[in-house]
Amino acid sequence: MDIQQCKEKFNISFTNQSLLKQAFTHSSYVNERPNANLHDNERLEFLGDAVLEIAVSDYLYRKHKTMSEGELSKLRANIVCEESLFRFANILHLHEYILLGKGEESTGGRNRQALLADVFEAFLGAIYLDQGMDVSQQFLEKFIFPHIIDDTFSHVMDYKTKLQELIQEERDSFLKYRIVEEKGPSHAKEFHAEVVVNDKESARGIGKSKKEAEQDAAKNMLIKLQN
């Protein structure tokens, strides 16, 4: 692996170079070199898992001020699951630095989801051990957190919450909802809702309940504002 390239890519100055190498050393590589005094990344993976948990919790707590504890927990679970960590590892191209045994390499280990998720956690654990929590948080905020604002992770958060948080970024902004129409028989109602931002921008939505219609209106307003 090219340690220097890795450090330059992520702009991290490791004091202990061996920690960085260990983060990318798979057990299969160590097992094939019993006399080389090498260490695999499993202990660093354990540490990185804990670092990620607290860093993501802190980020979500500060960013989503109106979300409940349950909503925050669901969103965090989506972000720290294996599938997400695999995605992060691919975004960072961490597969380029992994040291694998020949058998693991030949069976496609370099692109295996569980293996790459573990490598991401081990890399974060190495950053924490060498540079501390502040640098670990900075690394995540620069390279990872920008990728967790899209619907891949935020689908557990309702659109009304997302819209509320978006307009709160602008001072003195406000929004209001109203049901503008109801259609159909009582057992199969269709509700039409409207959301208005600052008495200017408006968007409508449709749903089988008032709440569902308001969610749809909020979703359409988000699309409108983001465009």
- Which residues are catalytically annotated? 49, 121
DSSP element (H, E) containing 203: strand 201-207
Beta bridge partners of 194: 178, 204
**How many Cβ atoms sit within 10 Å of the Cβ of residue 113?**
14
SS (H, E, C) 59-84: HHHHHCCCCCHHHHHHHHHHHHCHHH
Q: For residue 6, give Cα distances in angstroms to 9, 85, 157.
A: 5, 18, 35
> Is there a contact between 203 and 224 (Cβ–Cβ < 8 Å)?
yes
What is the distance between the alpha carbons of residues 167 and 188, in angstroms, rounded to a whole number? 33
Cβ-proximal residues to 222 (8 Å cutoff; 6+ apart), any chain: 159, 162, 163, 166
Contact 156, 75 (CB under 8 A): yes
Residue with tokens 């694998």, as numbered in its chain: 100
Say if CB 22 and CB 39 are below 8 A apart: yes
